[in-house]
Amino acid sequence: MFEDSDELLGRMSQAQGASASRTTVLVAFAANLLVALAKSAAAAVTGSASILAEAAHSWADTGNEIFLLVCKPAFTSAARPYASARVWKGAHGVQELLNPEPATDFLVGYVVLAVSFVLEGISFLRSVRQARPGAALLERDLIEQVMATSDPTLRAVFAEDAAALIGLVIAAAALGAHQATGSAAPDAVGSILIGALLAFIAVFLIDRNRQFLVGEEADPHIRAAVLRALLDQPEVARVTYLRLEFVGPRVVSVIGDVDLTGDDTETHVAVRLRALEAKISASPAVGGAVLSLSAPDEPSLTV
């Protein structure tokens, strides 16, 4: 459809394509797997509740990446590992408060947390680099782009990596307080806080993807590009209604009312309308098109 006039849609597909998302997930998977193994070993050595909570966090992230890799891109929330991990963390933190156990080998814990921060940071920067072109293209800031993107994979990796970095800071602070006070209570509180953070991220991902499932309208920049593309078609005299809804990552459905050029018979008009729908649907950025004829008294849309 719109080889010349919908450059925005093509550039968005390049900026946020499936290959870029897959690379982002692979980087996150490798980082989280290494971090999960290191944290698990550190938790066994130190006995720290917050590091154990962070280990569960990283295993949940690793499971999340596997979910994203094996499932087809869709508006599903890869939050099941988060949901189970947050319950376990909260319960473990409460148990640790009731039956505190002192931690040992604090240096091991600090080293593992520092290495984990570096690895998680690498994964986070990868998701940031993927989000930046789309943000610049649509004139959004980075957080706004992550919130609004139709790519649930990018949003999931960005959110979980951001949560992981915050969780590592909480774990380090909890471990430091444990060492300074000799009490396991700060460590247990850290575990509970990390569980709460994970719960927040899970709810955020579920709610945001739910909005796409019920019909999220496309960004005004995309709508303007499609309207411009329609008006550029020689058979279209004007457009009086246009609605775009995301039906998949970087894919929209097009619903509109158009006034065709000329004064054909009803049969010919129907054939031309179906041909225009087929031309629109040929674009990789369009998941389907349904067009109707405009009423004479309907005002025209302008770009």
Nearest-angstrom CA–CA distance, 99 and 272: 75
Q: How many residues does the structure list for the chain?
A: 303
Nearest-angstrom CA–CA distance, 275 and 289: 11
pLDDT of residue 18: 58
Please check whether residue 251 is in contact with residue 212, taking contact to mean a CB–CB distance below 8 angstroms. no
Nearest-angstrom CA–CA distance, 277 and 271: 10
Concatenated DSSP letters of 190-218 = HHHHHHHHHHHHHHHHHHHHHHHHTTPBP
Count the Cβ atoms, other than its own, within 10 Å of residue 119. 20
Please check whether residue 200 is in contact with residue 162, taking contact to mean a CB–CB distance below 8 angstroms. no
**Cβ neighbourhood burial of 65 (10 Å; 0-12, 13-18, 19+):** buried
Please check whether residue 127 is in contact with residue 223, taking contact to mean a CB–CB distance below 8 angstroms. no
Query: pTM higher than 0.75, yes or no?
Result: no
Helices (H) and strands (E) in the chain, counts: 10, 3
**Boundaries of every domain in the chain:** 7-213, 220-293
Please check whether residue 116 is in contact with residue 39, taking contact to mean a CB–CB distance below 8 angstroms. yes
What 8-state DSSP symbol labels residue 121?
H
pLDDT per residue as tens, the chain (303 positions): 444 434 555 555 555 555 667 788 888 889 889 988 998 898 888 888 778 878 887 888 888 788 777 765 556 544 555 544 554 455 555 565 556 666 778 888 899 999 999 999 999 999 999 888 888 877 889 998 898 888 888 888 899 899 889 989 998 999 899 899 988 888 888 888 888 888 888 888 888 888 887 778 888 888 888 899 899 999 999 999 999 998 877 788 999 999 999 888 878 889 999 999 999 988 888 888 999 999 989 999 987
Nearest-angstrom CA–CA distance, 275 and 286: 15
Q: Which residues lie closer than 8 Å to 263 by C-beta, 6 or more apart?
A: none
Going from the C-alpha of 13 to that of each of 32, 133, 161, the distances in angstroms are 27, 11, 23
Count the Cβ atoms, other than its own, within 10 Å of residue 70. 7
Going from the C-alpha of 122 to that of each of 29, 61, 175, the distances in angstroms are 12, 15, 23
Nearest-angstrom CA–CA distance, 224 and 303: 6
**What is the fold, at CATH topology level, of the domain defined by 220-293?**
Alpha-Beta Plaits (3.30.70)
Q: Which residues pair with 145 in a beta bridge?
A: none
Nearest-angstrom CA–CA distance, 63 and 51: 18
Rounded to the nearest 10 degrees, what angle do helices 106-137 and 18-46 cross at?
160
Please check whether residue 264 is in contact with residue 230, taking contact to mean a CB–CB distance below 8 angstroms. no
The two most distant CA atoms of the chain are separated, in Å, by: 88
pLDDT of residue 240: 96
